[in-house]
Amino acid sequence: MEELVSLCARRGFIFQGSEIYGGINGFWDYGPLGVELKNNVKAHWWQRVVRERDDVEGLDSAIIAHPRTWEASGHVEHFSDPMVDCRTCKRRFRADQVDVPCPEAPAQRQVSECDLTQARHFNLMLKTFVGASEDVASTAYLRAETCQSIFTDFKRVREAARQKIPFGIAQIGKAFRNEINPRNFTFRSREFEQAELEYFVHPGEREKWFEHWRAERLRFHRELGFAEERLRVRPHAPNELAHYAKAALDIEYAFPFGWQEIEGVHDRGDWDLSRHAEFAGRDLGVTDETTKQHFTPMVIETSVGIDRLCLALLCDAYAVEAIPGGEERVVLRLHAAVAPIKVALLPLSKKLAEPARAIERGLRARWNVFYDDSGNIGRRYRRQDEVGTPYCVTYDFDSQTDAKVTVRERDSMRQERVGIDALLDYLRGRMEAAD
């Protein structure tokens, strides 16, 4: 993890927010390469979940919702973690996570062995105020999850999109939790991004659709190239289930700090729509046109943490390997669909800039392309390996006579001579094959 965190900062993937002031715990900034990676992950999710299906609609809801939203969902009353304070170092810890080394005490001493206060509940909602006053009447919350506005917008979206059950509503957006102890780089943060789908089904079909989305979401992660042995599905035990849930599972990745969830699939039943219908005094049920049965749909939810998924992709892709000549290279074997830079254009000499730039402009219309004419060509290859660029294109002095360029593939380091007029189709074919 230390090597990966260093690479992320050095190459502009991810670094501490407000870094020049010493940072702020639990908040991270995505640099030039990081934002490309994150946007590619989100676009890939949106393509698979929304655009390739005719039974899913998109949504982009406000971060701040009416406070009654969070009362109905149970967040105001129940969304809390048990917390303890250490009387010695004045640090705060989750009461269920004290079997770890104390960061302030001598080696080998656990937090559980420190002088701790009694556990008490700490609400994780981030509070703010709307309007000029700062009183109870103006209290609001930054959303703790993106799904609640999907439920409150359910009736409006269904009618506007003319959808019938079963169908889903998906959204990607920021969420906020006042975590007691943010940790493990971007894995647990106070500001994070979620991609969630709420799929509304007839009560008699909930098991069928739960299994459908379990398979679909696992396939999505397999497509991204995760090593088989580093991805698993863990069903929730009965004592883990929320009181309203019939079934739930986590898709987990083997991070350097252990197996952890990157996505959850949940059968939420009719809890959410029923609660919002009760608190808002609105009927959120639907009527089957054939049977005339009026019912409240059940909800199958898929929820992936975008930041966690990006971190898992970086961990899985990172490798240090020996290469011919007794050297080592650092390489990020990122799937082409999510790689920040798709192609690097590397002229062998600055004297070749004009024709090389012309090729770059043609490729840039389709992909994010990086141009680099500085330094030894081998070092330039290494720089692109380190940031996960799938293909490097070298324009050399022979290119002026044979109208060909050298295309180097990142993982195998194999090089192939390709005609300039066929280059776009050559690269597109390989990108699409990887997808």
DSSP line for 68-129: HHHHHHTHHHH-EEEEEEBTTT--EEETT--SSB-SSSPTT-BGGGS-BPPPEEEE-PEEEE
Residue 153 CB neighbour total at 10 angstroms: 17
Q: Encoding tokens for residue 157? A: 């979206």
Phi, psi values for residue 98, rounded to 5°: -105, 0
**Looking at residues 191-220, what average pLDDT do you find?**
97
Give dist(CA 50, CA 59) in Å, integer. 10
Structural Rg of the chain based on CA atoms: 25
Q: Encoding tokens for residue 208? A: 């069928």
CB 175 within 8 A of CB 70: no
Q: Which domains does the chain have, with CATH numbers?
A: 2-69+144-314 (3.30.930.10), 341-434 (3.40.50.800)
**Looking at residues 117-121, what average pLDDT do you find?**
72
**Looking at residues 107-118, what average pLDDT do you find?**
77
pLDDT of 99 over the 80 cut: no
* Omega cis (within 30) before 166: yes
Give dist(CA 315, CA 307) in Å, integer. 12
Per-chain mean pLDDT for the chain: 92
For 386-406, write each residue's pLDDT tens digit: 999 999 999 999 999 999 999
Could you give the 3-state DSSP secondary structure of residue 229?
helix
- Place 121 in a pLDDT band, splitting at 50, 70 and 90: low
Phi, psi values for residue 69, rounded to 5°: -55, -45
CA distances, 435 to each of 205, 251, 366 (Å): 31, 21, 15
pLDDT of 122 over the 80 cut: no
Q: Please tell me what DSSP assigns to residue 237.
A: P
Percent over 70 (pLDDT), the chain: 96
For 34-61, write each residue's pLDDT tens digit: 999 999 999 999 999 999 999 999 999 9
**Looking at residues 264-284, what average pLDDT do you find?**
96
The pTM assigned to this predicted structure is 0.88
Give dist(CA 198, CA 339) in Å, integer. 28
CB 88 within 8 A of CB 104: yes
Cβ contacts of 26 within 8 Å, gap of 6 or more = 179, 182, 188, 189, 190, 191
Considering only the C-alpha atoms of the chain, give the largest distance between any 2 of them, rounded to a whole number of Å.
79
pLDDT of 133 over the 90 cut: no
Could you give the 3-state DSSP secondary structure of residue 404?
strand
**Looking at residues 264-273, what average pLDDT do you find?**
96
Distance of CA 223 to the CA centre of its chain: 15
* Residues forming beta bridges with residue 321, ordered by sequence position: 329
For residue 174, which amino acid is it?
Answer: K
- pLDDT score at 401: 95
Give dist(CA 82, CA 104) in Å, integer. 21
Query: Angle of helix 306-317 relative to helix 32-46, nearest 10 degrees?
Result: 110
**Looking at residues 168-178, what average pLDDT do you find?**
96
pLDDT of 251 over the 90 cut: yes
- pLDDT score at 120: 66
CB 141 within 8 A of CB 64: yes
For 330-366, write each residue's pLDDT tens digit: 999 999 999 999 999 999 999 999 999 999 999 999 9
Of the candidates 59, 70, 243, which has an alpha carbon nearest to the alpha carbon of residue 148?
70
Could you give the 3-state DSSP secondary structure of residue 331?
strand
